[in-house]
Structure 1
Amino acid sequence: MTSTLGFAILAVLARGERTGYDIAASMRRPLSYFWTAGHSQIHTELQKLLAEGLVSYETEAGPGPQDKKIYRLTGEGTAALRGWITDPPRERPERDELVLKTYAAALADPAALRRLFADQLAKHEARLAEYEREEEAIGGPPGFGDPRWGNYAALRCGLGYERHRAEWCRWMLDQLSESL
């Protein structure tokens, strides 16, 4: 059974052939708005996808002593990705460390808690500003069917998330100010 990371790799390869390094770079943006993976995870998952017949590769001369592998989707990989796209997502437990800390916040030093939320607010505002610059550079959604449409949809999700988190951090700071 292909993992979610495996499907993320298949989705990257659906846009064109890539080396393992290129796959990792493609996952930085826009996939990093909602999914991250390191080189070692990608390499391990590529081996599984190869064993399942979902990807194949050809070798080319690399910049160093070893050949580089250029990965591509197989017909089976394309079919698996198409089927997966419209399956309902798996249930996953929510694990948000900041919310958990907030749940136990009554035990914390209020000044330290304010610093924590001020720092978190700054991080979310910085990420939001970055995403807003990216949205402005794009200028609007490409038409559905264009691979960049998925990039834009992921960016919109990231924008909404960062706006929500920044607003929540502001609310927490207001609440903490009132309690001091």
Structure 2
Amino acid sequence: MTSTLGFAIMSVLARQARTGYELATAMRRPLGYFWTARHSQIHADLQKLLAAGLVRFEAEHGPGPSGKKVYHLTPDGRAALRDWVTEPPQQRPERDELVLKAYASWLADPAELLALFREQLAGHEARIAEYETHQAAMGDVPAVDHPSFGNHATLWCGLGYERHRAAWCRWMIERLAGEV
């Protein structure tokens, strides 16, 4: 049974073969907008994918004394990824610390809570600006069978999320400002 992280790794390798370092770098952007993993997690799942025959590697001469491994998706890996893409996603428990803090906000000093939500709003607005810059640089949305379509789709979702969170922070700030 392949983990969701394993499918994220295979999604990156389906676009092009990469070394472990390049894989970790590619998972920062654009995947890092919605799916994060530490290098140690990536390495562990990569080993499981190798054992399952879903990825393979070619040894190449590296920049240092040891060679480098360039990983690629196998035909079985591509088939497993293709099947997984259309399966319903697993239900995940919601664990949103800021929402939990809002739930318990009646216990807090309104001025301190107001500062927290202003800080959170600034972070969401910064990500919106960053995402909009990426969106403008990406150009037109390609056909759905093109690999970069996924970049557009995930960025669109990320923008919607950040805009929603910014609007919620503004709503909280309006309420809290009345209490200060």
Please give the TM-score of this superposition, normalised by the length of structure 1.
0.98
- Secondary structure at the residue paired with 2:58? strand
Matched, 1:127 2:127: yes
- Letter in structure 2 aligned against 1:145: D
Name the counterpart of 1:143. 143
Q: CA RMSD in A?
A: 0.8
Task: Identify the residue that residue 26 of structure 1 maps to in structure 2.
Answer: 26
Residues 17-71 of structure 1: CA deviation (Å, up to 9, x unaligned) = 1101111111111111110112111111110000111000010111112110000
Question: Hey, what's the Cα distance between the residues in 2 that align with 1:11 and 1:83?
Answer: 12
Which residue number in structure 1 is paired with residue 110 of structure 2? Answer: 110
Report the residue type matching 2:21 in the other structure.
Answer: Y
5+ long unaligned stretches in structure 1: none
Query: Matched residues in 2 for 1:172 and 1:140: separation?
Result: 35
1:140 CA drift (Å): 2.6
Match of 2:162 in 1: 162
- The aligned residue for residue 39 of structure 1 is 39
Tell me the distance in 1 between the aligned counterparts of 2:162 and 2:118: 14
Aligned ranges 1:3-22 → 2 under 5 Å: 3-22=3-22
State how far apart, in whole Å, the 1-side matches of 2:14 and 2:139 are: 24
**Fraction of identical pairs, as percent:** 65
- Alpha-carbon distance in 2 for matches of 1:39, 1:59: 20
Q: Distance in 2 between matches of 1:138 and 1:84?
A: 27
Structure 1, 138-147 or 66-75: larger mean CA deviation = 138-147
- Give the gaps of 5 or more residues in structure 2: none
Inter-partner Cα distance in structure 2 for 1:137 and 1:61: 35
SS at match of 1:142: coil
Aligned pair count reads: 180
TM-score (norm 2): 0.98
Q: Secondary structure at the match of 1:71?
A: strand
2:71 aligned counterpart, secondary structure? strand
